[in-house]
Amino acid sequence: MKATHFCVIAVTIVASFLGIFTLVAGFNLGEGGASASRVATFSTTDLNGALSEADSDLLVSVNTKEYELIKTNDPFFDKQWALEQMNITDLWNLTTDSKEVVIAILDTGIDSDHEDLQGKVVAEVNFTDSPSSNDINGHGTHVAGIICATANNSIGVAGLVPSCKIMNVKVANDYGFCDEATVARGIIWSVDHGAQVINISLEIRNHSITLEQAVNYAWDHGVLIITAAGNQGNKSAVYPAYYENSIAVAATRPDETLAPLSNYGDWVDVAAPGYNIYSTLPGNKYGYETGTSFATAYVSGLAAILSSVLSDMNGNGMLNDEVRSAIEKSCRQTNSTGYNFGIVNATAYIRQFVVTNP
């Protein structure tokens, strides 16, 4: 039995008595052009209806030239159904001139020597009792690959935003356990060391003032936190996803219905692909995982892309509010229920403002 299986079972039992542990919010299913200038014209209609003129001013630094379809030579690209559903090749084309963004991944560690992740980790810290910041569990490495695995290198898979850099912030031990104070420390460390987006594919069953204060600290410093909605298959709130200053993510299947065990409810903000997700595993391996953890990674990747192309419209010196608004407004409505805004669809949002140069 893999450690990720044990984590879910063990934490479910322990948390019901102690209420202090968190678990990685996923489970295994299988095998081991333009510069910074304002865009001149825009559409006033998005997928859901009205899109204000102010929204058009958010976007800068998009590639506005005619483009050809980007094709990668990554051998497992065809296994990555989520990238096709999210129209990733369009998104890459539209943001080719985007700035590099740093994402902190608070998880079980990352195998930074993985063939598809080499050179991606720019900082790391270990807040656990594990002797190493490396990923023994596998969960953190899988999340990292979804976000930033190198594309078009004839190896493995392609990340959603392969140009970004990541921080390896180990807050869960090698069995996937951690407590709310450790997650809070990881958040504050990430903010203080320059992260622009924080991915937290973890869930805690009980409210913690310390953790909520850390989430608010990040928001107040312009950092956007993306969080897993949890895998109990019900409306139960988990943390930090439930907190106002984070984006809670549910998981969906290829047919856009909720993935098995994904939490849902009016406190969940958006949904993203989280079923049979193929990505990196420690030791130059690859495999499938399912859960809100992996849906969270896709939204973190979109947040990074948007952070690289949006401008600060309200003059507060931060972009997290603009990025959050863009993610939520871009969502595609489906027949599924259980989340407020729909399935993320930032490609369509960005395309609203593309101008083709003569």
Residue 218 has pLDDT above 60, yes or no: yes
Structural domain count, the chain = 1
Q: What's the pLDDT at 329?
A: 83
For residue 271, the cross-strand partners are 250, 343
Instruction: Tell me: cis bond preceding 282? Omega within 30 of 0 counts.
Output: no
Residue 297 has pLDDT above 70, yes or no: yes
Q: Is residue 118 part of a domain?
A: yes
- Which residues does the annotation mark as catalytic? 107, 139, 293
Q: Is residue 302 part of a domain?
A: yes
Give the model confidence (pLDDT) of 86-107 as tens digits.
888 777 877 766 678 999 999 9
- Candidates 279, 272, 269; CA nearest to 345 is 272
Identify the weakest region by mean pLDDT among 69-78, 135-144, 222-231, 264-273: 69-78
Q: Is residue 357 part of a domain?
A: no
Q: Is residue 161 part of a domain?
A: yes
Q: What's the pLDDT at 88?
A: 82
The percent of residues in the chain predicted with pLDDT above 90, rounded, is 62
Between 12 and 182, the more confident residue is 182
Which are the contacts of 217, defined by CB distance < 8 A and separation ≥ 6? Answer: 187, 188, 191
Residue 31 has pLDDT above 50, yes or no: no
Give the domain CATH number at 256: 3.40.50.200
Q: What is the mean pLDDT of the chain?
A: 80
Q: Is residue 321 part of a domain?
A: yes
Domain of residue 155 covers 3-351
Give the model confidence (pLDDT) of 142-195 as tens digits.
999 999 999 999 999 999 999 999 999 999 999 999 999 999 999 999 999 999
Residue 39 has pLDDT above 60, yes or no: no
β-sheet with 197-200: strand ranges across: 121-126, 165-170, 102-107, 197-200, 224-228, 246-252, 270-273
- 3-class SS of residue 332: strand
Between 92 and 238, the more confident residue is 238
Q: What's the pLDDT at 58?
A: 40
Q: What's the pLDDT at 26?
A: 63
Give the model confidence (pLDDT) of 319-343 as tens digits.
999 999 989 887 777 766 667 678 8
State the DSSP string of 84-121. Answer: HHTTHHHHHHHTTTPPP-EEEEEES---TTSTTTTTTE
Q: What is the mean pLDDT of residues 57-62?
A: 39
pTM flag (> 0.85): no
Residue 275, Cβ density class (10 Å: 0-12 exposed, 13-18 middle, ≥19 buried): buried
Q: What's the pLDDT at 55?
A: 41
Q: What is the mean pLDDT of residues 269-277?
A: 96
Q: Is residue 356 part of a domain?
A: no
Between 316 and 333, the more confident residue is 316
Q: What's the pLDDT at 268?
A: 96
Encoding tokens for residue 42? 């825009």
219 touches 226 (CB < 8 A): no
Residue 71 has pLDDT above 80, yes or no: no
Q: What's the pLDDT at 358?
A: 29
Residue 69 has pLDDT above 80, yes or no: no
